[in-house]
Amino acid sequence: MQMTTQVQPDDIVFVINPNSGHALNPRALNALCHAACDQAGRTAHVVTTRTPQDATETARRAHDSGAAAIFGCGGDGTLSSILQGLPVGSPTALGAVPLGTANVWAYETNLPMTPMAAIASQLAALDGDRGSPLWIDTGKVWSTRPDGSIASQRFLLMASWGLDAAAVNGIAASNRRSRIKRMLGEPAYFLSAVQEAVGQKAWSIAYSLDGAEPQTVDVGLMTIGNTRMLGTWLEVNPNATVVDGELDLLMFRGAPWRALALSPFARHGWLPHGPGVSNHRFRRLEMSPIGEAPPMQIDGEIGPSTAYAIDIEAQALKVLCPVPTSEVLGG
């Protein structure tokens, strides 16, 4: 996992996740990263990781060394792992080489989907030749550890409670569903959600937005979006942007199957107007389960069952976004 040479200020670090859904041969990807940086007059450092913690630690060292940017070569989970190692306001920019199952961040920001083109376009943004680095919001999830201490985890895209998280957990817990994910890619999550919705009752929760009086509701799904998309085909938070200093909550009342039934509304911004659906903007959400805690996911990975609050971190992360679209910036 170690970088073979010392990172210097303005160098570029690449984190390769060899377990990503569409990962290239690490040796070939290593050569590609070096070639892209050579063309841009930059020095590349390539690290192949074994665990998410490796990616987090690599990001921390890249920040400490003054690296100009760190690229996640993998999916959205790889980017999320890197994010945990970049302090709020770090001058080290986050870039993406989309090699995962869904690549939602790349989809949202209109990045090229081929590795060489993705790297080249983002390095051009870093140098101001095409676009420029962009400061965006991130979310932070607060939870309690078994010993009662407080933990936190940042997110780039979205967190959710309920059916979506149950689908993520179901794939992680089932070898069969994991094989289906490798074969089908993103549609495997919808199939997993169908299986999880059968016979599942709504979860009862109490929640409060920005310090308001708590409300009690039975929900099948709650999405908290910094960005719009749940995967690349369900626009669940159509009004979300990464620069507005707020997060967007979409709440589906009733049993989880209702969220599935309303999924066709997730086109053209219709979902917030569906029956039993409400949406809100907030800076801080506090939540406590009444009875069984709903499962949680953060950026497509299993989240803590003891999560109790989510905050916005405004203008916290520097990203490489060569062609910022209205979907990213709003308006």
Within-domain flag for 57: yes
C-alpha pair distances (Å), 142 with each of 5, 119, 276, 311: 36, 33, 27, 8
Q: Do 26 and 66 belong to one domain? A: yes
Within-domain flag for 327: no
Residues 189 and 158 sit within 8 Å (Cβ to Cβ): no
Q: Do 237 and 216 belong to one domain? A: yes
Q: Do 120 and 206 belong to one domain? A: no
Residue 210, helix vs strand vs coil: coil
Within-domain flag for 232: yes
Mind listing the pLDDT tens digit of every residue in the chain (331 residues)?
Answer: 555 568 888 999 999 988 876 667 878 899 999 999 999 999 999 999 989 999 999 999 999 999 999 999 999 999 999 999 999 999 999 999 999 888 999 998 989 999 999 999 999 999 887 778 999 999 999 999 999 999 999 999 999 999 999 888 888 877 887 887 778 777 788 888 888 889 899 999 999 999 999 999 999 999 999 999 888 778 888 889 999 999 999 999 999 998 888 887 776 677 778 888 999 999 999 999 999 999 999 998 899 999 999 999 999 999 998 877 666 666 4
Within-domain flag for 268: yes
Q: Do 149 and 116 belong to one domain? A: no
The H or E element spanning position 173 is helix 163-173
The rounded mean pLDDT for the chain is: 90
Indicate the number of domains in the chain.
Answer: 2
Four-CA torsion 110, 115, 121, 125, nearest 10 degrees: 90
Within-domain flag for 2: no
The 10 Å Cβ neighbour count of residue 60 is 17
Q: Do 81 and 32 belong to one domain? A: yes
**pLDDT confidence of residue 138:** 98
C-alpha span between 107 and 209 (Å, rounded)? 29
**pLDDT confidence of residue 235:** 86
Q: Do 97 and 196 belong to one domain? A: no
Could you read off the pLDDT of 11-55 as tens digits, one per residue? 999 999 888 766 678 788 999 999 999 999 999 999 999 899 999
Q: Do 206 and 299 belong to one domain? A: yes
Please identify, among 95, 130, 165, the residue that sits at the C-terminal boundary of a domain.
130
Q: What CATH number is associated with residue 86?
A: 3.40.50.10330
C-alpha span between 100 and 195 (Å, rounded)? 23
Within-domain flag for 153: yes
Q: Do 164 and 303 belong to one domain? A: yes
| β-bridge mates for residue 235, sequence order | 229
Please identify, among 113, 130, 147, the residue that sits at the C-terminal boundary of a domain.
130
**pLDDT confidence of residue 314:** 97
Q: Do 104 and 154 belong to one domain? A: no
Domain with 208 in it: 139-316
Q: Do 260 and 215 belong to one domain? A: yes
Q: What CATH number is associated with residue 188?
A: 2.60.200.40
Please identify, among 75, 100, 130, the residue that sits at the C-terminal boundary of a domain.
130
Within-domain flag for 321: no
C-alpha span between 46 and 65 (Å, rounded)? 15
Two tokens, residue 111: 């990045």
Q: Do 224 and 312 belong to one domain? A: yes
Q: Do 283 and 145 belong to one domain? A: yes
Mark residue 291 as left, alpha or beta (left: phi above 0; alpha: psi -120 to 50; beta: remaining): left
Residue 329, helix vs strand vs coil: helix
